[in-house]
Chain A
Amino acid sequence: MSMVDVQAVRKVYRRDAQEITVLDGIDLQVPEGEFVALMGPSGSGKTTLLNLIAGIDRPSSGKVIVAGTDVAQLSESALAVWRSRNVGFIFQFYNLIPVLSATENVELPLLLTSLGKAERRERALTALKVVGLADRAGHYPRQLSGGQEQRVAIARAIVADPKVLVADEPTGDLDSKSAEEILALLETLNREFKKTIVMVTHDPRAAERAHTQKHLEKGVLKA
């Protein structure tokens, strides 16, 4: 069974009278536990496809079924709940909240659950341990290196135990050493925690770490 099933998806943006087709009839199946790399030149539609899979955007037509749910059919509020339970998002620029410590950043998705404060804190610390940053729990983003920030962002993405991790250029803003550490961490999450990962990247070396590579060009998926 596919964890991600994208069927004949089109995504069209309208600017004034002009229509821009970003995705044109995409079909993509990602089995559970798979690690897929989406590659392609800028403007090919990689991030748009990732956003559709993550449920933060809606297709113009076609279906996006993730973890058994057709996300396009959900209302805005239902989609928010669905995202909190099923998807962990890793951004290129980490996007940590600067006024919150590492633990508090990781704890954010758990604020939407009914967990008590102590349990939220415990789970956040566990997630930080998984990414190897338990000793930086009280540090603020400005006190962390880029690689460490990204690891906190990954801890935030996995703390609610989502089925799917989507990563948009997770190594794009890192030096090669930090990038290597992040990719190793993603591999671990995929291998040991059985997370299905869809990663957008420009970097062929990063893409090599995935099980499968998919190439997009001008909104069309190439074999």
Chain B
Amino acid sequence: MKFLPFVLKHLKRNWVRTTSTVVAMAVCIFLFCTLQTVLREINAQLESANAARLVTRHAVSLVFSLPLSYGARIQAVPGVKSVANTTWFGGSLPAKKEGKAEGDASTTDWSSFFPNMAVDAEPYFAMYPEFQMPPEQYRDFLGDLQGAAIGKKLADKFGWKVGDRFFLESFIPPYRKSTGPFEFVVRAIFDTDTGKYPGTDTNIMFFHFRYLYESTGRRLNAGTYTVAIDDPNKAGSISKAIDGLFENSDAQTHSETEQAFRAGFIAMAGNLALLLNSIGLAVSFTILLVTANTMSMAVRERRTEIAVLKTLGFPSALVMGLILAEALLLGFLGGGVGVFGSQALMWVIMHSPAKDMLAGVGLSTLAIKPAVGLLGMGVALVLGFAAGFVPALNAYRSKITDMLRTV
């Protein structure tokens, strides 16, 4: 500890260079922590998927729907326990709640977007034990065509209570009705046991597919089917059997596990994990070069001082340690600023209208986990160490007389 003031004084010596290095390091760790947090949130979404559930969608794209008749045929496949029509509604709270939309002008309030699905409620909730609600509320929800079951996060966000009414309007043309937005009544508020079902998001709403179907002139198909199976180990063969049923139809299907489906949904934005990790790696490597260059310059301009320290009796290992300590301190400062900055960004996002847009794609709780923060600090220290190692080793190896001669 007695050498700490010595190290700090050297860092203060060229404060512009020190500050710029810390900022560079901070940007690197900021990006690292932010990207890792997003990736972990996505992974948590994927991990919350149940292996005993399949999703059957149109083989071409999620954009295309499947005939309603497919539900009963899938139900008949051996190994299938139950089937639920699961249709992405894409509804938003409309700026104008009643009456016809005026022309093509959008009346949608996008700032408070959240996921909402039209489902066959009974089979759907039976296959999702993670969504827990009071039995009487569930009963009321089943008994009301306009009823909505909303997650606790959603209820907290809008201050909705059981009995409250609200309107949603879809951005998908077939799901819009000429008389204006759909009206819903909150009949049930469900929550989850995060210990038992980690990653389950309650920033979501479900309502009866029948309400959507009947309100739009009974012309709709199903977006996807969620299929509960009796044995997760047979997911492959059951998927194959389902898809085999519709092999020669106009609407061929593609069945996969819920996890694969969610991964595919996220992958519509490209290979996100690869992209984010590549960005992180490239930035880290660049910062390593910048910091290494800074440390090399700092050591080079102090060759005489290093020679003096050695002349005074400072062992080479101690001199090397002092330089490494300087580099590690740079890493520590940069890491601290980066982690704090990343957390600050998450906080700002989570307290701005942008959070609703992120919630719409399942990223409803962005916050740096302690493990990510520690990992960020670890990366910063490793970068600092790597940047300082070569200059420190050169200082260790250099002969006093050589260093004094180059003055």
CA A203 – CA B12 in complex, angstroms?
39
Q: CB-CB < 8 A to A56: which residues of B?
A: 310-311, 400-401
* Chain-B contact segment, one of A31-39, A107-115, A183-191, A208-216: A107-115
Contact-residue size bin, chain B (C-beta under 8 Å from the other chain): 20 to 34
CA A109 – CA B315 in complex, angstroms?
12
Q: With A80-B313, A112-B314 in contact, is A95–B13 under 8 Å at CB?
A: no
Annotate B303-337 by CB proximity to A: 1 below 8 A, 0 otherwise. Answer: 01101111111111100000000000000000000
Contact of B2 among A51, A117, A156 (CB under 8 A): A117
Total number of residue pairs linking A and B with CB closer than 8 Å? 62
Is there a chain A Cβ closer than 8 Å to B158's Cβ? no
What is the minimal beta-carbon distance from A46 to any residue of chain B, in angstroms?
14
Q: Which residue of A lies closest to B401 (CB)?
A: A57
CA A111 – CA B314 in complex, angstroms?
9
What is the minimal beta-carbon distance from B322 to any residue of chain A, in angstroms?
10
Q: CB-CB < 8 A to A202: which residues of B?
A: none
Q: Which residue of A lies closest to B317 (CB)?
A: A77
Q: Is the CB of A81 within 8 A of B401?
A: no
Q: Is the CB of B9 within 8 A of A100?
A: yes
CA A91 – CA B312 in complex, angstroms?
12
Q: CB-CB < 8 A to A111: which residues of B?
A: 2-3, 6
What is the minimal beta-carbon distance from B284 to any residue of chain A, in angstroms?
30
Annotate A59-98 by CB proximity to B: 1 below 8 A, 0 otherwise. Answer: 0000000000000000011001111110001010101011
Is there a chain A Cβ closer than 8 Å to B176's Cβ? no
CA A91 – CA B311 in complex, angstroms?
10
CA A117 – CA B315 in complex, angstroms?
20
Is there a chain A Cβ closer than 8 Å to B63's Cβ? no
**Can you list 15 A-B pairs, Cβ within 8 angstroms, ordered by A?**
A51-B400, A51-B401, A56-B310, A77-B315, A81-B313, A83-B311, A83-B313, A84-B312, A89-B311, A97-B305, A97-B308, A98-B13, A99-B9, A100-B9, A108-B312
Q: Which B positions have Cβ atoms within 8 angstroms of A?
A: 2-3, 5-6, 9-10, 12-13, 304-305, 307-317, 399-401, 404, 407
CB-CB nearest 7 A-B residue pairs: A84-B313, A99-B9, A56-B400, A83-B313, A80-B315, A95-B308, A99-B13
